């Protein structure tokens, strides 16, 4: 595959791009930090990627989206998939007490990620289709006390991705919405891992399988699919009482 990936420098994006490199995919790593991108590119070449390009793409700056995807497409000689794992997190307490941080997280995770998806949709469909794989979260499945603000960004993103899948799958655009539960990455460093916390490498394997199969929604680790099935059924009166 020829894949552009935004977020390959850390966490689940790094694990996923390493799996792709090991099967000799051609990769374009897109991100905001030129040095980090070069480090990732060297690592991915070492791990077997058939070619690796880099381009600057900052989720805080939508004007970088079009040029980054064009550069990726040109460097790879086409595009089969775009993966977006990049995102920001803040605890509910941090976001409630720092509205500038809240603005940044709301903008990056929701409006700007969706705009980037629109650029990716156009880039993929211009050459007949492909796979758009985007990391949302279980936090978007239900309004919950500890992740109200962050969760709202992922709820909007999941909603958008579902509509994209309904609208364009018949025209060749396969949308894969990834909903991780708690995964031990730099994003969750310092937070107490709950039961069933996942590892990024295991999540990446599950995501790559979903991309290969064109699965529209994938929970990772898998048990979060069952957990959220229960949580989605709980009455509001119960949700108001519990801390989950
Ligand atoms: N970890 C979890 O428990 C969890 C749970 C549910 C959902 N998720 C979602 O899964 C995705 C991946 O999470 P992760 O835990 O792997 O995160 P991570 O380890 O913190 O990595 C985040 C990635 O996003 C990139 N990024 C951040 N801001 C950016 C910007 N403005 N422009 C471009 N790239 C930017 C980072 O690049 P730099 O190297 O430049 O920082 C890094 O590559 C995120 O969307 C997250 O919301 C995570």
Task: Using the mean position of ligand 1's atoms as its centre, give its distance from the Cα of residue 235 in Å.
Answer: 32
pTM over 0.75: yes
CB atoms within 10 A of CB 81: 20
Cβ proximity of 168 and 121 under 8 Å:
yes
Beta carbons within 8 Å of 126's beta carbon, 6+ residues apart: none
d(CA 129, CA 167): 13
Backbone angles phi, psi at 23, to 5 degrees: -100, 20
Under DSSP, the state recorded for 193 is P
Q: Ligand 1 pocket, 141 CB below 6 A?
A: no
Q: Architecture of domain 2-241 in CATH?
A: 3-Layer(aba) Sandwich (3.40)
pLDDT value at residue 243: 85
Provide the mean pLDDT of the chain: 97
Backbone angles phi, psi at 147, to 5 degrees: -140, 45
Task: Using the mean position of ligand 1's atoms as its centre, give its distance from the Cα of residue 87 in Å.
Answer: 4
pLDDT value at residue 244: 85
Question: Counting atoms of ligand 1 from 1, which one is nearest the CA of 6?
Answer: 34
Question: What stretches in the chain show pLDDT beneath 70?
Answer: none
Domain boundaries, the chain: 2-241
pLDDT value at residue 179: 98
Give the pLDDT confidence of 53-111 residue by residue, as tens digits: 999 999 999 999 999 999 999 999 999 999 999 999 999 999 999 999 999 999 999 99
Which residue's CA lies nearest to atom 47 of ligand 1?
87
pLDDT value at residue 55: 98
Q: Ligand 1 pocket, 36 CB below 6 A?
A: yes
Question: Counting atoms of ligand 1 from 1, which one is nearest the CA of 139?
Answer: 6
Cis peptide before 221 (omega within 30 of 0): yes
> Between the CA of residue 125 and those of 51, 90, 130, 149, 176, what are the distances in Å?
23, 34, 7, 32, 15
pLDDT value at residue 177: 98
């Amino acid at each position: 595959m020829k894949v552009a990936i935004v977020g390959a420098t850390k966490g689940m994006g790094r694990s996923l791009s390493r799996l792709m490199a090991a099967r000799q995919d051609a990769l374009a790593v897109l991100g905001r930090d030129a040095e980090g991108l070069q480090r990732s590119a060297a690592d991915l070449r070492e791990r077997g990627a058939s070619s690796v390009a880099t381009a600057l793409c900052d989720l805080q700056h939508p004007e970088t989206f079009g040029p980054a995807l064009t550069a990726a497409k040109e460097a790879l000689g086409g595009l089969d998939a775009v993966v977006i794992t990049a995102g920001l997190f803040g605890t509910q307490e941090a976001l409630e007490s720092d509205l500038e941080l809240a603005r940044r997280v709301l903008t990056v995770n929701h409006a700007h990620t969706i705009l980037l998806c629109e650029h990716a949709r156009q880039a993929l469909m211009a050459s007949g289709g492909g796979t758009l794989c985007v990391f949302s979260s279980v936090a978007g499945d239900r309004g919950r006390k500890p992740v109200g603000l962050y969760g709202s960004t992922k709820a909007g993103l999941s909603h958008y991705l579902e509509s994209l899948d309904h609208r364009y799958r018949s025209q060749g655009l396969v949308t894969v919405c990834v909903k991780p539960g708690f995964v031990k990455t730099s994003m969750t460093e310092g937070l107490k891992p709950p039961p069933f916390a996942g590892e990024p490498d295991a999540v990446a394997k599950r995501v790559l399988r979903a991309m290969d199969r064109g699965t529209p929604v994938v929970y990772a680790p898998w048990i979060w699919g069952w957990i959220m099935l229960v949580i989605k059924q709980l009455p509001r009166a119960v949700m108001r009482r519990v801390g989950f």
